[in-house]
């Protein structure tokens, strides 16, 4: 049995290509909607017999929790099934549980910098959208007590961090690196990551965050870095919302001039701090050329064009869903 396992591992592909990136993105766009739609049909069928209106079912806390669980798990299912069907090794995702403690501390620091440094700018964009008539809907879980706080951490921080990173940095970004320059792969994967979120108010920050997540994955050669950063980012946002809910204290200044001075000024602060981390930490760790993990018995091939049919279909579908959500938000 032991020899058989080793032979199977050797025969598996230990890398992703651009074709894998396109297919994974397409399935990442489709799968959550299929699963959620199926759950909606089941829920409506079950509760209609009890005389409960469909709107009550869809707005219920139970359905919101179910959606929060199923969405990230659908990404995890795509990751596992895709690798299984295509006989791709788990190590192709460049996920290693060996990460130096200094790197972990730097990742936590980056999450603090991004959240505190960008929250004012993002909030300002949301205010501008609302002024234009855009309805910013929130389906977040309650944050009334410690129990809800930890449930939010699990469903909205931990699960998305692990499952989304396995797809977007594990497969998509890893495949794009074989046909694009490193920074181009970071930008394009960040664009796909932002487009996947499907709403106008969740376009700017996920794009910026996607760039940072791709950057740390590239610089450390380990997707665990982007998972940790993603989790810390989401956890910090939830923590700030919880503190504001419990204490009533808001980090947003009421004076508009002070608000925008702070928002713009912090953008430069964030850029400066990230440059310092890049220049004086990551540059000392590894060079860009050594970031790709090479496995014994594997040979990376640039098979699959960037503009593959799967990638184009995925972008078109995600774009259509994005437009539908935006139009709906302006009409409501």
Residue 3 belongs to a domain: no
Q: How many domains does the chain have?
A: 1
Q: Which residues contact 232 (CB under 8 A, 6 or more apart)?
A: 107, 108, 111, 112
Cα dihedral value 32, 35, 36, 38, nearest 10: 160
Q: How far apart are CA 42 and CA 59, in angstroms?
A: 15
- Tens digits of residue pLDDT in 80-139: 999 999 999 988 999 999 899 999 999 999 999 999 999 889 989 988 888 888 888 766
Q: Which of 9, 159, 165, 195 is nearest to 94 (CA)?
A: 165
Angle between the 223-247 and 204-220 helix axes, to the nearest 10 degrees?
A: 140
Residue 49 backbone dihedrals phi, psi, to 5 degrees:
-70, -25
User: Whole-prediction pTM value?
Assistant: 0.89
- Tens digits of residue pLDDT in 145-186: 999 999 999 999 999 999 999 999 999 999 999 889 999 999
Of all residues in the chain, the percent with pLDDT exceeding 70 is: 87
- Domain membership of residue 271 as a residue range: 11-331
Residue 1 belongs to a domain: no
Residue 97 belongs to a domain: yes
Residue 283 belongs to a domain: yes
Residue 162 near residue 76 (C-beta atoms within 8 A)? yes
Residue 85 belongs to a domain: yes
Tell me the two tokens of residue 2.
């032991």
Residue 5 belongs to a domain: no
Residue 6 belongs to a domain: no
Residue 281 belongs to a domain: yes
Cα angle 100, 103, 108 (rounded to 5 degrees) comes to: 130
């Amino acid at each position: 049995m032991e020899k058989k396992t080793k032979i199977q591992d050797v025969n598996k592909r230990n890398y992703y290509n651009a074709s894998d990136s396109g297919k994974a993105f397409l399935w990442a766009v489709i799968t959550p909607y299929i699963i959620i739609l199926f759950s909606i049909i089941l829920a409506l069928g079950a509760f209609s017999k009890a005389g409960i209106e469909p709107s009550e079912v869809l707005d219920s806390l139970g359905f919101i929790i179910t959606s929060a669980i199923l969405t990230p798990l659908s990404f995890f299912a795509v990751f596992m099934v895709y690798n299984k069907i295509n006989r791709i090794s788990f190590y192709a995702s460049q996920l290693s549980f060996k990460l130096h403690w200094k790197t972990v501390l730097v990742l936590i620091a980056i999450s603090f910098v991004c959240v505190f440094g960008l929250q004012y700018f993002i909030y300002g964009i949301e205010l501008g959208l609302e002024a234009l008539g855009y309805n910013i809907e929130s389906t977040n879980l309650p944050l009334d007590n410690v129990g809800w706080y930890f449930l939010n951490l699990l469903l909205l921080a931990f699960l998305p961090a692990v499952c989304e990173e396995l797809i977007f940095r594990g497969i998509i970004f890893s495949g794009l690196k074989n046909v694009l320059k490193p920074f181009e792969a970071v930008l394009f994967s960040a664009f796909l990551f932002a487009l996947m979120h499907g709403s106008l108010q969740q376009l700017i920050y996920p794009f910026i965050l996607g760039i940072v997540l791709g950057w740390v994955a590239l610089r450390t050669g380990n997707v665990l870095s982007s998972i940790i950063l993603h989790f810390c980012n989401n956890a910090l946002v939830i923590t700030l919302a919880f503190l504001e809910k419990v204490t009533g204290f808001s980090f947003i200044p009421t004076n508009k001039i002070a608000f925008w001075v702070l928002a713009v000024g912090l953008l430069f602060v964030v850029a400066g701090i990230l440059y310092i981390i890049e220049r004086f930490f990551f540059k000392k760790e590894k060079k860009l050329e050594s970031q790709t993990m090479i496995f014994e018995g594997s040979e990376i091939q640039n098979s699959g064009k960037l503009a593959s049919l799967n990638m184009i279909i995925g972008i078109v579908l995600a774009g259509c869903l994005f437009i539908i959500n935006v139009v709906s938000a302006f009409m409501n």
